[in-house]
Structure 1
C-alpha cells in the first residue's frame, strides 16, 4: 500500500501539471509549490528556532488561528512557517502577520518531505483537522519532532478505520497527540488503539467568540439597514440565490437584505442584480448612490462578512443547497442569529446540533425556504428565541484553545 501511495503521488504530480494548463487555481498551486524551497532557503536559516503550522486551506487556517496566535505570543523568538496545500488558503493569507514565512506545501513525496524538513527544521509541528500526509509525518517522526493534530474530525467511513487502511493508520500514530472535536472521533481512534487523544472541541468556537471582543461596526451597513429588520445571506451560491431571489422579489415588508456571494466575479454579480426587482445596490457603487433607499445590498468584495453578521436579525448561509459544502455557520451563530441552510450538511456536526437545538433550519425546496423565512420575519419571539439557542451553543463550546495550550505548555 505504501509503495502504491508513493507511485500514485508521483503520477498525481504529473497530471496536476498537465491540468494546470487549463485551470487557473491548479496553475497557482503548481507555480507556488515550485517556489517553496527557494523561499524557505531565503527566509529560514540554520540558526533559527522554528515552529511549523500546516493547513489545507483557508477554513483550516481560520480554525487553527486562535491556537497559532497563542503559540506565537508565547514563543516570540521563534520563526513561524505557515504552509497551505490549497491556493484558496495561500493566496488570501500569504501576508498574514501570524507567520514569518508562508509557503505552499510540496506534494507528499519522500524527497519533498526530507528537503522541506531539512530547510524548516521545526521544533514543533501543528497540523489542522484533516491534514494527514504520510511521508511528511513519517519523516517528522523519524526526526523525533513533536507533532500534534488539532480540531480533528473523524468518520467511520474514512480509510483509517478500514482493514485496507492499515498503512494510513500508521500515519496517525506519528502524532504525539490528537485533539478531536467530538466523542465519536475519540472512540474511532481508540478502536485502532490510538490512546493519545483528547476531546477538546472545535477551535472555531474560540475563533468566532473572539469576534465579540472587537469593533464590528460598519458605517455603510448602518446607513443601509437603518432600523429595519435585516436578513444577511452569506457565502451564497447560485443554487441558494435561486431561492432568495423570488422570495425577495415577492416580499412586501420593509425587510432589508444583504447578499454576500461566495463568487464575486463581475458576471455573476451582474446576473444576480439583474434578476432582483427590488431596489438593489452593490458595495462597489456605494459612494455614488443613496444606499439607504435600497432594499438589497450586494457585497461584491471580500473581508466584511463576519462583521456584517453582527447586523443580521436572520441569516442564510450558503453551500448546503448544492454540493460545494456548507460555509461557516458559527460566524452568524455567535451573534445570536437564527440560521437557514440547505439540506446537504451531514459532514457538519455543528449544523446538526444547532438544528436539534432549534436555532438552525434546514430546507430543501422553495416552499420550505419561504415558510421558515416568513416565520422568522413575522414572529419576533420565535426569531429571538431561535437566535438565543445559537449564541448559547457557541458559549458552551468554547475552550478548545485552553485545552490545547495546556498540553503544549507541558512540553
Structure 2
C-alpha cells in the first residue's frame, strides 16, 4: 500500500506540473473544434453554479458511452427520483449528446482533469453518494480520493481488450491499485473479467453483468426524428448508410459507391463521419469524387439526382438507420476497431463491416456465429469487394432480410445488463446509507 501511495503521489505531481501543457493541448485542439476552449474552468474542477450535491455521479466519456448508458441512466432516474444525477463527459460531442437525450433531467458538467486540486474541487462541490464509471475509464487520482472519502465506486460495462492489457500491464503499479478501489466491477463477459483479474482486480468484487450496449430500444424521440428525416428523403431508395466513418474510410466507400451506381444509379449514400470536426473535409471529398452531395444541416430536401447525403448533425444516426436498406460500419477499414453494430441491428438492417472490429470483438463473434454480418477481408481490392457485397444485398432482399433479423434476435436475447447494474448500484447505496 505504501508503494501505491508513493506511485499516486508521483502521478499527481507529474500531472500537476504538466497542467499548463495539458491546457495548451486543449487549446490547440480547439482550433479545429472550438468547443474545447469553452467551459475550460470545468476541466479545472470549477463547476457551474446551482448544481445540487449529494447525488449520483455517472461518467460517460463521449457520445458512444452516453448512448450505451442511456437505458441504465433512465432506470437510475426512475429508481432515485429524490437524488440529483450528474452525468459527466470529457468531450464536447458527449456533452451535446447528454443535453439532447436528457435535457434538464440530469445535471451535467465535464469530468475534471485527473489532477489533485481539480478533482478536490469537483468532489467538494458534488459530494456524491456514489460514482459510476464505464468500461475502461480509470482515473487513479479521482478514484483514490473518492475511496478516501468512502464514496462507493462502481464500474459498469467493464471492458479490457487485449490491446488495453498490453498498455495497462506497463502501468500495473498504478492501474492495479486503482482497480482495487472499486467496490464492484461489472465486466461485459467472462474474458473481460479474466483480464480484470489478471490486472489485480479482486475476484469477489468482479461480477459478469452482460453488455449495456444491448439495452437499446426505439424511443418516441427516434420515431419523431425518423419522420423528420423521411420528409427530407422524399421516399428515396435504396439507401446505403456509411456510419461513423474515419479518415481513410470515406475514400474507400466513395470508390465503392461509384462502382455500385453503374448497376444501381438511384442508390443514395448517407455518409456519417464519426467526428464533427471532419464534416467539412468529408464534404469536400464527396465533391472531389464528382458526386452530388447535400448537407443534412442545410435542411434541404433530397431530389432524384442527389447521390450523397452528408449527415453533418448529431443525434440522428439511429433514426437514419431505421430508414436505410444496408449499413456499413466505419472504423472497420481504418484500424480504429469499429463501432457499434447493435444499433442498426435493432432496426433489422443488414450490416457490412471491414476486417477490424476489435472494439466489439465478442459482439462481432456473435454476429458471425449467427450469420448476422458480412465482413470484408483486408486483402485484395477492398472497395471492389465492398461494392460487390452491397450490390449482392440489393439484388438479394431475402438474404438482406435474414441478416437483419439475425442481428435483431441477438440484440433481444442479450438484454438485461442495465437492470443488473442498477441492482448493484442500489446495493452499494444501501450499504453506504
Question: Which of residues 187, 193, 199 is equivalent to 2:208?
Answer: 199
Q: Kindly state the Cα deviation for residue 223 of structure 1 after the two structures are TM-superposed.
A: 5.9
Q: Kindly state the Cα deviation for residue 141 of structure 1 after the two structures are TM-superposed.
A: 1.2
Q: Kindly state the Cα deviation for residue 212 of structure 1 after the two structures are TM-superposed.
A: 8.7
Q: Kindly state the Cα deviation for residue 336 of structure 1 after the two structures are TM-superposed.
A: 1.3
Question: Which of residues 162, 165, 169 is equivalent to 2:176?
Answer: 169
CA RMSD of aligned residues (A): 2.9
Q: Secondary structure at the match of 2:271?
A: strand
1:56 matched to 2:61? The reply is: yes
Q: How is 1:6-405 mapped onto 2 (pairs within 5 angstroms)?
A: 6-24=12-30, 28-29=35-36, 32-35=39-42, 37-40=45-48, 42-44=49-51, 48-93=53-98, 96-97=102-103, 100-156=106-162, 158=165, 162=169, 165-191=172-198, 192=200, 193-206=202-215, 208-211=216-219, 215=223, 217-221=226-230, 224=233, 226=235, 228-250=237-259, 251=261, 252-253=263-264, 254-263=266-275, 267-277=280-290, 280-285=293-298, 287=300, 291-349=303-361, 350-363=363-376, 364=378, 365-405=382-422
Q: Secondary structure at the match of 1:88?
A: helix
**Alpha-carbon distance between aligned partners in 2 of 1:316 and 1:14, rounded to the nearest angstrom:** 41
Q: Kindly state the Cα deviation for residue 230 of structure 1 after the two structures are TM-superposed.
A: 2.1
Structure 1 pair 49–334 and aligned structure 2 pair: CA distance change class (3 A)? same
**Alpha-carbon distance between aligned partners in 2 of 1:260 and 1:163, rounded to the nearest angstrom:** 36
On the 8 A contact 2:244/2:339 being kept in 1, the answer is: yes
Q: Secondary structure at the match of 2:156?
A: strand
In structure 1, runs of 5+ residues without a counterpart are none
Q: Secondary structure at the match of 1:385?
A: helix
Q: Secondary structure at the match of 2:359?
A: coil
Structure 1 pair 21–240 and aligned structure 2 pair: CA distance change class (3 A)? closer
Give CA deviations for 1:161-205 in whole Å, capped at 9, x if unaligned. Answer: 738504321111111111111111112334434321221112121
On the 8 A contact 2:55/2:128 being kept in 1, the answer is: yes
Q: Secondary structure at the match of 1:97?
A: helix
Q: Secondary structure at the match of 1:249?
A: helix
In structure 2, runs of 5+ residues without a counterpart are 1-6
On the 8 A contact 2:8/2:140 being kept in 1, the answer is: no
On the 8 A contact 1:17/1:30 being kept in 2, the answer is: no
On the 8 A contact 1:239/1:321 being kept in 2, the answer is: yes
On the 8 A contact 2:54/2:126 being kept in 1, the answer is: no
Give CA deviations for 1:302-326 in whole Å, capped at 9, x if unaligned. Answer: 3321111012221012122224442
**Alpha-carbon distance between aligned partners in 2 of 1:92 and 1:124, rounded to the nearest angstrom:** 23
Give CA deviations for 1:18-53 in whole Å, capped at 9, x if unaligned. Answer: 33443216875465342464435x2246xx432111
Q: Kindly state the Cα deviation for residue 229 of structure 1 after the two structures are TM-superposed.
A: 2.8
Structure 1 pair 212–337 and aligned structure 2 pair: CA distance change class (3 A)? farther
Give CA deviations for 1:224-255 in whole Å, capped at 9, x if unaligned. Answer: 36373321222223522212223322322243
Q: Secondary structure at the match of 2:281?
A: helix
Structure 1 pair 134–20 and aligned structure 2 pair: CA distance change class (3 A)? closer
Structure 1 pair 224–101 and aligned structure 2 pair: CA distance change class (3 A)? closer
Q: Secondary structure at the match of 2:251?
A: helix
Q: Kindly state the Cα deviation for residue 222 of structure 1 after the two structures are TM-superposed.
A: 5.6
**Alpha-carbon distance between aligned partners in 2 of 1:162 and 1:220, rounded to the nearest angstrom:** 47
